[in-house]
Amino acid sequence: MQRNMDPSGKCTTRFVFGAIALLVLLAGCARTPDEERIRAALESMQKGAEARRPADVLEHVADDFTGNNGEVDRDSLAQMLRLQLLSRQGVNVVSGPVEIVIDDDRATAKFDVTLSDSSGRWIPGGSETYRIVSGWRRQGGNWLCYNATWTNGER
């Protein structure tokens, strides 16, 4: 079946605008780059800690998480978070620059984080700085932290 195009070119104009609209929609559906997704997860974890919501932190932690060379699993991390975040009057979390290296479905994120206790009761001197090296993997459409090491003090 052949279309009749009117002399004013309305059919062609509608086709062009329709194609442009489709391209704009497809561009809006493009996946967020992996590094941005990991940074967003880290930011969400930081905000969850500041808001004293351990579940918001754990949302980005894999079920088989191990920390500090097997000393901490996901359940013990959850317990630590609940004890620390819910017992404190307030915690402030300040992260330094994050260095992320991605290798296919795995990534490493390294950064310093300073925790400060507004009450001064829980952290001697009011604040502590930790160097964190975390391993991430793509799982489904998300990036999850599956291991981490943290050391107190300077690098």
Domain 33-152 in this protein, CATH class: alpha beta
Supply the pLDDT for residue 35. Answer: 95
pLDDT of amino acid 88: 55
8 A C-beta contact, residue 114 and residue 129: yes
Listed by start position, the domains of the chain span: 33-152
Instruction: Give the Cα separation of 79 and 60 in Å (integer).
Output: 16
pLDDT of residue 128: 84
Token digits of residue 35:
């590094």
Whether pTM > 0.85 for this model: the answer is no
Q: What is the mean pLDDT of residues 66-89?
A: 84
For residues 86-92, give the mean pLDDT.
65
Q: What's the whole-number mean pLDDT along residues 79-97?
A: 76
Report which of 148, 151, 153, 111 is spatially closest to residue 128, judged by C-alpha positions: 153
Give the pLDDT confidence of 97-121 residue by residue, as tens digits.
999 999 999 999 999 988 877 666 6
CB atoms under 10 Å from CB of 65, counted, come to 21
- Distance, in Å, from the CA atom of 82 to the CA atom of 127, rounded to the nearest integer, reads 19
